[in-house]
Each structure stands twice: as C-alpha cells, then as structure tokens.
A and B are shown apart, each in its own frame.
Chain A
Amino acid sequence: MGTLMKTPLLALAMLAFTLSPARAADPTGEAMAATCAGCHGTQGRLGTVEFMPLAGLPEAEFVRAMTDFRTGKRLSTLMGHVARGFSDREVRAMARYFASIK
C-alpha cells in the first residue's frame, strides 16, 4: 500500500527501469496477445459486447489506445495498469499481430 504509485508519470519512470536492456528479448506478438485473451477473446475474437474485440483492429488504433491507457489520457478500469507492463516496441508487435487476425 505504501508503494502504490501516485501518478502515471512515476509509473512510466518505473517502466523505463523494469524494461531496461537487461532483459533478453521481447516475447512474440502472439505470446503477448495471448495474455489479453481471457477478456478479449482467443486471438482477439469476441462475441460479447462488454469488451473490445481486438482481432482485425488497425495497428494505429491499437497503439493509440494502449498509449492513452498508459499515460492515463484515456480513463479505464484496469487497462492503464496492464498497458504499463509493455514497452512501445512490444505494443507495436501486439498491434501487428491483432491486425493480422481476420
């Protein structure tokens, strides 16, 4: 509780720290996209309306959404937290994956 982060800015500072070059490689777009599937459907395919289906989403749209969630520009329940777990390059890789799913 004492460690709760108060501002997105601080969170971004921490992100820069945790995603420092010490890490070997990025996971594949497919592997990262699989972590979204519990809510957004297997491969981003979804029938229900509450969550956003991600399959076939244009790359730029996905990147913008994730970036706005991360900075707090776009209000969310938990997407802000999740978005802070991925670097810009990783978000682009996920975007490419979802855009490629028909």
Chain B
Amino acid sequence: MLNRREFLKAGAGLAFAAATLPVRAAQGGGHVVVVGGGVGGATAAKYLKLANPKLRVTVIEANRTYVRGYGSSEVVTGHVSMDDLNVSYDTLKSRYGIQFVFDTVVGFDPARKQLRTAGRQTLAYDKLIVSPGIRLLYDAIPGYSAAVAETRVPSGWIPGAQTALLAKQLKAMRQGGTFVLVAPPTPYRCPPGPYERAALVTEWMRRHNPTGKVIILDPKDSFITDATMQLGWHRLYGYNMPADYLKDLPASVQVKNSGRPSPIEWVRAKDGGEVEKIDARTLAVTTLQGVEKADVLNIIPPMQAGKLALDMGLTDASGWCPVDRRTFESSVHKDVFVIGDASIADAMPKSGFSANTQAKVTARAVADQLAGRTPGEPVWENTCYALAGSEYGLFVADVFRLKDGKIAQVSGQRYLPLDATPAQIRLAATYQQAWLKTFTEDCFA
C-alpha cells in the first residue's frame, strides 16, 4: 500500500491515463462512483438507481464476494458456517445495471475528480460516495499486532479468516478453560456486538464445555443495551447483576443474585477492566486489576475509519470522517460523500442499519443535486437486534433527525423494556434471525 502522500500523488498523475481511458458522464444523469461495496456502498448504489435509473453507477470494491459482519458471531459458535456470510453482487448487477470494478483504489485526485485503482484503471466521477468501513488499531494494545491477530489472538471484527480461527479455537479449548473477550473503547462498530458474542459463547459452553468460563474485560463502564443484556445473562446463565443496575430495575422484575460465580463476568473500567498489555505466547492479559490467563483470547481493539478514508485525506484528528450531516458530504472534499462506520454521525451507532439508512439519504441527496434539486429533509433509523441467547432477543431502536446541524435521536426510549414479556423476548430473537435475511435483501438485492 502507498502512504498518504504517495496515494495523493498517484491520483495527481492521472492526467494522461485519463486521456487514454475517457470516462464521461452519461447523458441525463451523471456518473456516480461508489467506493466500497459493503453495507453502505451497496445500499447507496441500489438506491441511486431506484432514485434515477438513468444515473451511471459504478462500484469499486476490493472483493468479488461480500462477507457480512452482521450475524458473524454465529460462526464462532458453529450456528452458521463461513459460507453463510457470503453475499453475492449478482443481483445488483443484473437487476439494477450497476457496474462493478473489482479492484482496490490506490490514488485520488479531488481537483480532477478522478480515482485510480491498483489494476491501473482511472475512473472519473461527478459525485463520489465512499463507504470504506473500519480499520482495526491492533498496535494500540502492547503485545498485540495484525500478525498476532491472524495467527494466535483473533479479533474477528472485520469478518474473515480471523472469525474462522476464533471458531476453531473455541472448539479446541480445554474443558474448564477461560474465554477472554477484550471489548473496545467507543466509538466502535456494532455497540451491542461484543456482549452478544460473549453471550453466545457462554450459551455454547453450557452445552459443550460446562465448566468453562467467559470473561469480558472492558475499558468502559456501560454499553448500549447494557441493562437488558445483563438481565438476559442473569436469567439464562446465573450472571450476578451489579448493584447499580439492580437498583434501576422496575419492581415487577424479580432478580436475585445467587452469589455463586457466574459463567460470564463483565469487568468494567471502574473494576479495573482496562487492558494494559497482552502476552501473545502465554495468553496472559494484564489489566489494572491484575493478570487474567486466557485459554482463548478474542480482542476487539480500538478502531478508526477504513484506511482508504485516511489515505484520501477524509479523516480528522479523531480518525473518523467529518461530514455535513444533512447529506454526508465530506467537510474536506466537495462532491465526495462519506457514509457508514467511517463517518462521524453523532448519536447514530456505527451499525449496518445506520450505514443502510445513511446510504439512502445520501443516495437521494446525490440524485437530487445532480438533477439540480435541493435535497429534502433527512431522516435516519437504527435498529440493532441482539441476542443474550439464541432464543432471547433484545434491541436498540432509534429514529434520528437533523437538529441544529447535528444528528439527534428523537424517538425516546430505545431498548426492550426491562419488564418485557417472554413473548416479546422470544419474538425479538425470531426477528433478529429474520432481519439477517430481509436486511441483506434491502442492501444487496
């Protein structure tokens, strides 16, 4: 990979290449290039075509098949296979006439509005939508690195070989072993995700490794869905709820901590859960409270916007991409839009659902701008179903609006009520599984 200066230089040298490979805006529409064919990029491409079938839409994507992250913790517990995560681009091509270039973007010239790929193609755009996802900062934890993640201590937060490795390690773990999950600091992709993964591993252990144990080490004191998730752990696995959560339960919800050690433990920042370093050989994890020896170690490190965003100069000091919240046009480059996990979207969680509704608002705004119209009032939504067990569902659900130039939640209560009925809980789990299908269709078909 080129460094950032080389990256921009590679873009700036495009003049003659472009002359040999002219790309003109199609009549009656314009050419929109989308970089990254993940949740955000695929949805944007599809909804651009729905907004105006005359638009020419080209997606540049590194891989021929998308590997979905949502639902990928189910691979770890063997509920689904790696193949089940694969999503094809065929329908986007055949039904909507979206063009795909399977290649990696390595150069960018914002002045000429051109991109260059590793395969030496040059593409000119009228509007550019970038949805590059995240980059994991393995090196932020002393003792951890990309090489360690690929061989010994998988992260599996960008689905792929590390997800498969983690599944293999869990299966091979000794009876009575300890599965340690290191949770990330905010902001990060899929806020309930680490805790859902820990829950599914705990459920798996009850069946296959009943004396085994799950420990979550956390640099935070709270997380999205924390109360409902822990109530689920309590009911399913005998988890002891911390006193500060117990006191917020409605009177009708009966919770009695057994006091016995629970098969799942959550060590918060205030209890010394922040990790200082790891020893990749012995799988010893040093926290402020001491040393935890893992048999399987799963680290979800801090993260930032995908490397492409950094290379294109779209990030700010936070490592994420500042945008005009109405359209998600980059605050740095005109006619370039950044959506999905990589963008700074205030109250919106970094989730697939968020990326999907951002893509729709941005696709509509881009189509409007190209047609000389002013984009309308935006509205976004996020719904993340999560599992405390395979038949115990919960969620966070929000509607978002633009308020004083920022994105604000306007729908009030966001979680499954703590006094939800067994039917609501069971249904939420059913809906979580159904959503995996309907959501994939809305993005990719």
Contact = CB atoms under 8 A, between A and B. Distances in A.
A96 interface: no
Nearest to A47: B441
Given A2-B248, A25-B377, A31-B379, A48 B411 contact: no
B416 A77 contact: yes
A19 B416 CA distance: 23
Interface string B401-438: 10100001011111110100100100110110011011
Interface string A27-60: 1100110111111111100101011000000000
Interface residues of B, number: 49
B412 A77 contact: no
Contact of B47 (A24, A34, A38, A77): A34
Contact of B415 (A4, A27, A28, A40): A4
A24 B374 CA distance: 13
Contacts, number: 125
B214 interface: no
Interface string A80-96: 01101110000000000
Contact of A38 (B226, B427, B439): B439
Nearest to A37: B442
B442 A82 contact: no
Interface residues of A, number: 40
A78 B397 contact: yes
A84 B377 contact: no
Contacts of A100: none
Contacts of B383: 38-39, 78, 82
Contacts of B441: 41-42
A69 to B, nearest CB: 12
B126 interface: no
Contact of B428 (A18, A28, A77): A77
11 contacts: A4-B415, A15-B410, A18-B401, A24-B377, A26-B377, A28-B376, A28-B377, A39-B431, A78-B395, A81-B397, A82-B399
Interface of B: 46-47, 50, 226-227, 245, 248, 353, 356-357, 360-361, 364, 376-381, 383, 393, 395, 397-399, 401, 403, 408, 410-416, 418, 421, 424, 427-428, 430-431, 434-435, 437-439, 441-442
The 8 closest A-B pairs by CB, nearest first: A85-B399, A85-B411, A50-B434, A35-B381, A78-B397, A27-B379, A34-B360, A18-B410
